[in-house]
Amino acid sequence: MANETVICTYRVRQDAETEFTELLGRHWQTLSELGFVTSDESLIFRTVENPPTYVEIFTWVEGGFDRAHEHPAVLAIWEPMDPLLEERDGLPKWDFPHYRRVMQTSQ
């Protein structure tokens, strides 16, 4: 099975952005140190307008996704993230669709 890229969307409560970004700042580094993601650093984006929505893009190594869901160091980041997020405009607090690259354009 090929590596899967995940595009995480986090709908952050306006009053919780500072606490959320502290957790997010440790997220990829923790996954990387545990060997759950590829060496390509994550990309993180924030909406220009408020309330804030963050998008984080990174690629799991094979089996990394399943192992992350059981590791205490990862859960120590994910669990405190949940109350900092909110459902918004009929969308869930967070969303994690996984993708596989099907083509690459040349530059």
Within a domain: 26: yes
Within a domain: 32: yes
**In this predicted structure, what is the pLDDT of residue 102?**
87
pTM here is 0.91
Tokens standing for residue 10? 């986090």
* pLDDT tens-place string over residues 32-89: 999 999 999 999 999 999 999 999 999 999 999 999 999 999 999 999 999 999 999 9
Closest CA to 100 of 28, 8, 5, 7: 5
Within 8 A by CB and 6+ apart from 92, the residues are 11
Within a domain: 40: yes
Please count the structural domains in the chain.
Answer: 1
